[in-house]
Amino acid sequence: MILDGWFYTGAVIGILSAIICILATIIRDHPADSSIISLAAVELFLVVYAVYALISPVPLNGPGWEFWGYIITGLLLPPIAFFWGITDKTRWSNLVMAAIGPTILVMIHRLQVIWHG
């Protein structure tokens, strides 16, 4: 298994997003702008990752439906958490947004395993 720059970049963004959202849960009584911006950073990373996966050369036994299922699911998670955050105006919406960072980290690791075999 190869953990390349994509994994490490996704790990840093996911962990920072989780830390920001957890701190916002502790400090704020409502969804914090910093939590929403950290979700946007996670989503932007996933969009760039998906575009890269689309245009990169695919090996003969390249990734199949499982790979694209992970990417599509990953792309859907931050907007779902965002809409949760703007509809649930409590402290706990920040914690829901905090769960996205580690979830994406695990998904990016799984994508690397699938891509590199």
Determine which helix (DSSP H) or strand (DSSP E) holds 71, and give its type and residue range. Answer: helix 65-87
**Per-residue model confidence (pLDDT) at position 58:** 63
Q: Work out the number of other CB atoms within 10 angstroms of the CB of residue 83.
A: 10
Output the pLDDT for position 38: 94
User: DSSP letter at 82?
Assistant: H
pLDDT for 78: 94
Domain ranges in the chain are 5-54+62-116
What pLDDT was estimated at residue 59?
56
Per-residue pLDDT tens, the chain, 117 aa: give them.
577 888 899 999 999 999 999 999 999 888 888 989 999 999 999 999 999 888 876 655 566 788 889 899 999 999 999 998 889 888 888 899 999 999 999 999 888 888 776
pLDDT of amino acid 29? 81
Q: How far, in Å, CA of 32 to CA of 37, rounded? A: 9
